Structure 1
Amino acid sequence: MTGDRARYWQRDALPGTELLAARFVRHAFARHAHAEYAIAAILDGVEEWDVDGGTMRAGAGSLVFVNPEVPHTGRAGVPEGWAYRTIYPDVTTVRAVAAELGRSGTPWFAEPVIRDPGTHRLLVAAVHAADRGDDLAASSALHAALVALLGANAGVAAPPPAPAPRAVAVARDLLHARLTAPPTLAELAEHVGLGPHALQRAFRAATGLPPHAYLVQERVRLARSLLAAGDRPAEVAAAVGFADQAHLTRHFRRHLGVPPGAYRKNVQDRGGRAA
């Protein structure tokens, strides 16, 4: 027994937001980035992760923030692991709450870890209410938590993304276009007019990931949306370019901590009990 258990789910009453209840002891997340915000309330233990060239740690009572498209890892910081409740609101959802507060632009959480007991309780309450199907309580607590978080920790708009070098932008577009039949590194480099080593360095500098890891991340993102729509894992594996369901499962677990079948079941349930 590893002690690892996790469940992602969604509720119609919380549009644009996915929820996670989890405890991880041995699982380690591969380096990846979310299209959404990741905002976690640590319940016990310690989480450790690498981000922006440094290593962060957060213990019980902490709130953890990862902004959209910021590559990071995740692992236990102590032998007993960590437990947390996490919300993944999309950019549209967070911008809408910010607009209610008179803020323009896309919010950017400036501090990766804060301690705010009141907001921590609100976030945990939102996840627990969503877990028991109390949509009014869940939506109210979630909105209050986002208001508090934006007021306390997101006083600046997201910095404009640095324009990727043209070669990286072209390479990224080609990977998206050929998700299921990608080029080799040599072919990709030739397509953009760089040597393989130069492309690897430029791509990692612009995206935080080498081309192959970026391709896997994008396959997992597409798989996640297809599974949430109800597609079966074997069908999804073929649709996004993995060799088979086992290949999908291996990478899906490294990015999300759960196998694709369990993810599909839970997000399709739109409720039920958390792990």
Structure 2
Amino acid sequence: MSLERSRIWRNQTLPGVELLSASYIKFEFSKHWHDELAIGIIEDGAEGLFYRGNNILVPKHHIVAINPSEVHTGFAGAPKGWRYRMFYFDLPTLVKQFEYTDLPMAPIIDKPVIDDLHLFNELLQLHLSLEISSFDLTKGSLLAITLEKLFTKYGSIKPVDNTRNIDIESAYIAKDFIHDNWERNPSLLELEAVSGCTKFQLIRSFKELFGITPHQLLLLVKVKKAKKLLSEGMSCVETSLTCGFYDQSHFSRNFKLAFGVTPSNYMCS
């Protein structure tokens, strides 16, 4: 059986982003280009590319960035090939992400290979959130966090001085809104509207004040409420529905991340 596989899809929450998850050993891409900004993360092995007149290598846990309309190839850079995930961001989606800020935005990344493990892990979390059941707030927050970091560190946007950009009032308004609406699935757009500041400023302020992001708070509130309901005798299925999780796997995965056991194992303890 071939170990080569590939899957491409779009998440309805972010229709302007195409996603690829693939593993190749002998397959080679011919010369081509993308109209979108292509950002990839190498999960295992290494990818080789012919790009801007040179052969380059993108090893495991590195990020590859191919700017729009840049001709390139793709091939195995290691004997076992490479396993990777790609984002293809269309330009209107990128522009929209920064439309309510005073940050000038051009969809260009300065270098094709980025060695930044923290950003790699954040991009991996984002990609996974767009593949499995995840809250809209999770997807929106991870998208904002990763794009801001990508473009401020390696692109066209100047970094923000966080010490001068903390909005305490907006962060507390967003926190209260999450606590008041924990049963459902509030979005980052809703938090922007009620707090009166941009998603970038809100996430920075929230994390500076509370040590976690808005989507992390939402998940923590939900699983803490779920734990209480389970301890009172509510079934796993009913608890999952009451707390607004998408399905049992979504509930079980996040419960275990918080408490180290699945909901069913917690009920049996």
Shorter-chain TM-score bucket reads 0.5 to 0.7
Greater displacement, 120-129 / 65-74: 120-129
Q: Hey, what does 2:267 align to over in structure 1? A: none
Please give the secondary structure, in 2, of the residue aligned with 1:121.
helix
Distance 1:12 1:51, change over 3 A: same
TM-score by length of 2: 0.55
Q: Hey, what does 2:148 align to over in structure 1? A: 147
Q: Hey, what does 1:80 align to over in structure 2? A: 80
Q: Which has the larger radius of gyration?
A: 2
8 Å contact 1:98–1:150 — kept in the other structure?
A: no
Q: Hey, what does 1:5 align to over in structure 2? A: 5
What letter matches 1:146 in structure 2?
A: L
What letter matches 2:69 in structure 1?
A: E
Work out the CA distance in 1 between the residues paired with 2:113 and 2:100.
Answer: 24
Work out the CA distance in 2 between the residues paired with 1:36 and 1:110.
Answer: 16
Distance 1:27 1:100, change over 3 A: farther
How many residue pairs get aligned? The number is 157
Deviation by residue 1:60-104 (Cα, 9 ceiling, x = unmatched): 110110011111000001110111111111111122334455332
- The residue correspondences of 1:43-122 to structure 2 (distance < 5 A) are 43-122=43-122
8 Å contact 1:19–1:87 — kept in the other structure?
A: yes
Work out the CA distance in 1 between the residues paired with 2:101 and 2:42.
Answer: 27
What letter matches 2:15 in structure 1?
A: P
Show structure 2 runs of 5+ residues with no match. 159-269
Please give the secondary structure, in 1, of the residue aligned with 2:20.
strand
Q: Hey, what does 1:183 align to over in structure 2? A: none
What letter matches 1:46 in structure 2?
A: A
- The residue correspondences of 1:84-233 to structure 2 (distance < 5 A) are 84-136=84-136, 137-155=138-156
8 Å contact 2:105–2:156 — kept in the other structure?
A: no
8 Å contact 1:107–1:156 — kept in the other structure?
A: no
Distance 1:104 1:5, change over 3 A: same
8 Å contact 2:39–2:88 — kept in the other structure?
A: yes
Q: Hey, what does 2:249 align to over in structure 1? A: none
Work out the CA distance in 2 between the residues paired with 1:156 and 1:121.
Answer: 21
Q: Hey, what does 1:27 align to over in structure 2? A: 27
8 Å contact 1:91–1:106 — kept in the other structure?
A: no
Task: Return structure 1 stretches of 4+ with deviation > 3 angstroms.
Answer: 98-101
Q: Greater RCO between the two (CA within 8 Å, min separation 6)?
A: 1
What letter matches 1:150 in structure 2?
A: F
8 Å contact 1:47–1:81 — kept in the other structure?
A: yes
What letter matches 1:5 in structure 2?
A: R
Work out the CA distance in 1 between the residues paired with 2:5 and 2:15.
Answer: 25
Q: Hey, what does 1:16 align to over in structure 2? A: 16
Please give the secondary structure, in 2, of the residue aligned with 1:125.
helix
8 Å contact 2:37–2:107 — kept in the other structure?
A: no
What letter matches 2:48 in structure 1?
A: E
What letter matches 2:25 in structure 1?
A: V
The share of aligned pairs that are identical, in percent, is 31
What letter matches 1:145 in structure 2?
A: T
